[in-house]
Amino acid sequence: MPGGVNSPVRAFKSVGGQPIFMDSVKGSHMWDIDGNEYIDYVGSWGPAIIGHADDEVLEALAETMKKGTSFGSPCLLESVLAEMVISAVPSIEMVRFVNSGTEACMGVLRLARTFTGREKIIKFEGCYHGHADPFLVKAGSGVATLGLPDSPGVPKATTSGTLTAPFNDIAAVESLFNSNEGEIAAIILEPAVGNSGFITPKPDFLEAIRRLTKENGALLIFDEVMTGFRLSYGGAQEYFGITPDLTTLGKVIGGGLPVGAYGGRREIMEMVAPAGPMYQAGTLSGNPLAMTAGIQTLKRLKAPGTYEYLDRITRELVQGILNAGKKTGHAICGGHIRGMFGFFFTEGPVHNFDDAKKSDAAKFVRFYQGMLREGVYFAPSQFEAGFTSLAHSPEDIQKTVAAAENVLSKI
Respond yes or no: is residue 357 known to be catalytic. Answer: no
d(CA 149, CA 269): 34
Alpha-helical regions (H) of 89-204: 101-116, 141-145, 156-159, 170-179
Respond yes or no: is residue 128 known to be catalytic. Answer: yes
Write the Ramachandran bin of 131: left for phi over 0, alpha for psi from -120 to 50, otherwise beta. Answer: alpha
Paired strand residues for 41? none
Alpha-helical regions (H) of 170-305: 170-179, 205-215, 235-240, 266-269, 288-301
d(CA 234, CA 34): 40
Respond yes or no: is residue 223 known to be catalytic. Answer: yes
Q: Are 173 and 148 in contact (CB under 8 A)?
A: no
Residue from 13, 123, 138, 223 carrying the catalytic annotation: 223
b/e code 52-71 from CB counts within 10 Å (16+ = b): bebeebeebbeebeeeeeee
Residue from 38, 41, 128, 233 carrying the catalytic annotation: 128
d(CA 324, CA 402): 8
d(CA 389, CA 230): 9
Residue from 251, 262, 357, 396 carrying the catalytic annotation: 251
Residues designated catalytic: 128, 223, 251
